[in-house]
Amino acid sequence: MRGFFARTRVRLTLSVGAVFLVIAAVAAGVFWVTFARIQYGAVDASLTGYTQSLVSNLQDTGGTISFQGGDPVGDTQQGVAVGVIVFDAAGRVLGSSGIAVPRATAAADARTAITWDSAVAETVSTAGRPMRIRATPVRLNGTALDAVVVAQPVGDLQQTLFEVGALIAGVVAVLFVAVVALSYALAGRALRPVRLIAATARDISEHDLHRRVELRLPADELGELAATFNAMLARLEVAFDSLQQFTADAAHELRAPLALLQAELEVSLRRARTPQEYATSERVALEEVERLRRLVNRLLMLARSDAGALEPSIQRVDVGDLLEETAERWRKVAGVQGVAVDVDLIDEGSLNGDPELLRSLLNNLFDNAVRHTPSGGRVGVRAETSDSTWHISVSDTGAGIPPGMRDSIFRRFTRGDPARASDTGGAGLGLALCKVIAEIHGGHVSFDANDAGGAKFEVTLPATAATPGT
């Protein structure tokens, strides 16, 4: 039962019903009170008119009340029997006529009317018989105030008020039931898209993220909710697909060096070998371990970037020194392959950045350029600044990148040549890492076909990148 009342549809219906009930009850109460005041006002007006006609026929002669033309006491103009009692200022009864009137109540009202020189009216019940009493101050002998008390039964009026109240209560009850039923139906209709969205969310797993909420909704809050939910599913689908692809590619890249390590170790343990053979096997194993180390480091850096934990340690970096140092280190590697490395530093200066991350960015670009440049080719690095922005490019004279793959080269595990064997050392993470490093420095990296053939990557970095926390 508690779960039923916890439902939004039920709580919304009860809220609407409660608000309607309060408003209807207040409106019904105001209507009934107003109707009752009008009815009692009509009775008082009738008694007032009757009192005025009665007083014109009363005469006080030495304390004795007489009626000119006989006793006029009878019925009101509406045909209702009345009773009359005349009191003097001392509370003595000077005369009475008509139906029985509660003497004590009449005397109290007479004293009040004489004291305040104002008419007094109230409703009392005598022996279960409701009666309206009105006391009016008068001057019968021209000097002292007397009081004429006129009473009229109002049983029929109270019965009418009761019936009107019951009718109003019945109407309010019927309207309340109708409003609750209508509110429950409308709330269910309004919340139907939410139920469908919830049902879809319960049924969707990581294997069917392609599903969407198929609802034709207007451009309101529920339509926006459905659109937002579908957009979230689309993002989740892309994220899960990327994660699955990333996991598969990482496993594939890790499998090759691990298989080579296992093979080398198994061969070394199969029989005794000479020191030279052990040294050769250990060099192969060391190369694969180094390859694994580079791959794992790149994966960790990308994972930290995805988690928002890759924050650069900003300091002032001399661009010329960074480029010369990196180029000098790669000249030795490139020289072995017969590739020349040139540095063209057009402008001198510095920028705010993390030297280790920027060195990693340049190393990846140099590694990519040297590995794809044949013997006799050249790798060039160029740096210039304009409008407080550094433009650092690394170009090569290799085969370049096919046009159909240029839009995906910065994705993880993407190689410029899919058919390229893994023994060249590339796992398709270098350019993705360059993109991440450039972005956390407030810049970006882009590809441009080299005019002389090959590939050209340009890194754009602000010279005054904000330091963390500013």
Q: Is the pLDDT of residue 75 over 80?
A: no
The residue with tokens 């990557």 is: 457
8 Å CB contact between 111 and 91: yes
Each residue's pLDDT tens digit, 288-306: 787 788 777 777 777 777 7
Query: What is the pLDDT averaged over residues 58-77?
Result: 54
Query: What is the pLDDT averaged over residues 277-283?
Result: 79
Query: What is the pLDDT averaged over residues 363-390?
Result: 89
The kind and range of the H/E element at 391 are strand 389-396
Residue 284 falls in which region: left (phi positive, over 0), alpha (psi -120 to 50) or beta: alpha
From first CA to last CA, the distance across the chain in angstroms is 55
Taken in order of first residue, the domains within the chain and their CATH numbers are 2-60+72-162 (3.30.450.20), 221-306 (1.10.287), 315-462 (3.30.565.10)
One-letter amino acid identity for 297? N
The kind and range of the H/E element at 96 are strand 93-98
Backbone phi, psi, residue 458, to 5°: -115, 130
Residues sharing a CB contact under 8 Å with residue 433, sequence separation 6 or more, in sequence order: 298, 301, 302, 360, 361, 364
Q: Is the pLDDT of residue 390 over 50?
A: yes
Q: Is the pLDDT of residue 465 over 60?
A: no
Each residue's pLDDT tens digit, 102-113: 899 999 999 999
pLDDT at 63: 56
List alpha helices for 56-123, DSSP H. Answer: 103-116
Model confidence band, residue 29 (pLDDT cutoffs 50, 70, 90): very high
Each residue's pLDDT tens digit, 145-160: 788 999 999 999 999 9
Nearest to 137 by CA among 167, 116, 160, 108: 116
Nearest to 92 by CA among 118, 116, 69, 64: 64
8 Å CB contact between 392 and 382: yes
